Amino acid sequence: MINSKTKYEATIEEIRQLFASHKVGNVVSVAKLGDGEFNAAYKVTLDDGKNYVLKIAPPNGATVLSYEKNMMESEVFWYKMMHENTDIICPEVYVSDFSGSIIKSNCFIMQMMEGKPLWEVNFSDQEYENVQKQKIEMLTKIHRIKNDKFGYRQNGLYDTWYEALKSMAGNLVSDCKALGYETLDGERFISYIDKHAEVLKNVPCRMVNFDLWDSNVLYKDGKICWIDPERGFWGDPVADFITLGVGQKAPLSAKQKEIDVYNETAEEKIILSKETEIRYAMAVCYLALIEEVEKYVRYEPDEPNYIRNTVDAREMYDMAFGIL
């Protein structure tokens, strides 16, 4: 279990009351779940033997970043989008409770999905290849979901990706300053957003997950299930390539194989060009800025995850700045 300053610690009594008040059933046992570093998640077993997942947002008063405020409502929304517009396997949300009356934070009860996170499964090379292909096909499905405004639902939407990304980056720089730190890399990133404004103004507006790591995909019997879409936004579909192939520290040009797989089923093809390289480098910078700033909120300086975030952010900035 990962240590994090933002996780809500629910009591068994609170959980029992929540399930009873929403007439879900009688709770007999509760166990902590998952490796997430932000929300708390519990496996809840009822007296009829059924299992559910209870997910709880950070407690009121917890220090969170601007884009993380009311993020749980967005997570419920993105699950709804996937269920209504795609055939992607993902949990059904049964109850959302944003009243704070029993559990003193936003929470929801959802279907418990079977399977293990991809990183836990001992795949053969061919099996892993097939699973990654399924992941990429899931992205093509959400990228068919369109909107006419960009950004995070919880922070206000904008007419162009340029305006949205500048606001998203600006909020993180402001968060950093409010925490007592400067981010010269963040300021530099914002200058590049302005430099490439024309490229960013021409980006299509699509559902973007931005968090499709192997820890957020469950595997069972050859099929995969998508969990934890809370970091989604309306934006540039190219941003979703960060989690594919060789990962977030390599340029888009290192992911030609993944682009080819994507283009097999995508309605709108991704063509490798100077423009798409710039768009992708912007997404890498944004992730680097998130990792840089969130470490101040989540961890102590001597913790491994603080050091991991510092190193990751530096390597991502260096790669992306080289393109921008």
Neighbour count for residue 324 (Cβ, 10 Å): 18
Confidence bin at 4 (pLDDT 50/70/90): low
Q: Are 119 and 132 in contact (CB under 8 A)?
A: no
Q: Are 176 and 313 in contact (CB under 8 A)?
A: no
Task: State the pLDDT at residue 62.
Answer: 84
Percent of all residues in the chain with a pLDDT value above 70, rounded to a whole number: 97
Distance of alpha carbon 269 from alpha carbon 258, whole angstroms: 12
Q: What is the pLDDT of residues 70-123, one digit of tens each?
A: 899 999 999 999 999 999 999 999 999 999 999 999 999 999 999 999 999 999
Neighbour count for residue 228 (Cβ, 10 Å): 24
The arithmetic mean of pLDDT across residues 125-129, rounded, is 93
Examine the pLDDT at 57 and tell me if it is beyond 60.
Answer: yes
Task: State the pLDDT at residue 256.
Answer: 97
Examine the pLDDT at 214 and tell me if it is beyond 60.
Answer: yes
The arithmetic mean of pLDDT across residues 288-306, rounded, is 93
Examine the pLDDT at 257 and tell me if it is beyond 90.
Answer: yes
Pairing status of strand 116-117 against strand 107-111: unpaired
Can you list the domains of the chain with their CATH numbers?
Answer: 12-111 (3.30.200.20), 116-323 (3.90.1200.10)
Task: State the pLDDT at residue 133.
Answer: 96
Task: State the pLDDT at residue 34.
Answer: 72
Task: State the pLDDT at residue 35.
Answer: 64
What contacts 37, CB < 8 A, 6 or more positions away? 2, 4, 6, 298, 305
Looking at the DSSP bridge assignments, the partners of residue 219 are 116, 224
Neighbour count for residue 198 (Cβ, 10 Å): 9
Q: What is the pLDDT of residues 225-234, one digit of tens each?
A: 999 999 999 9
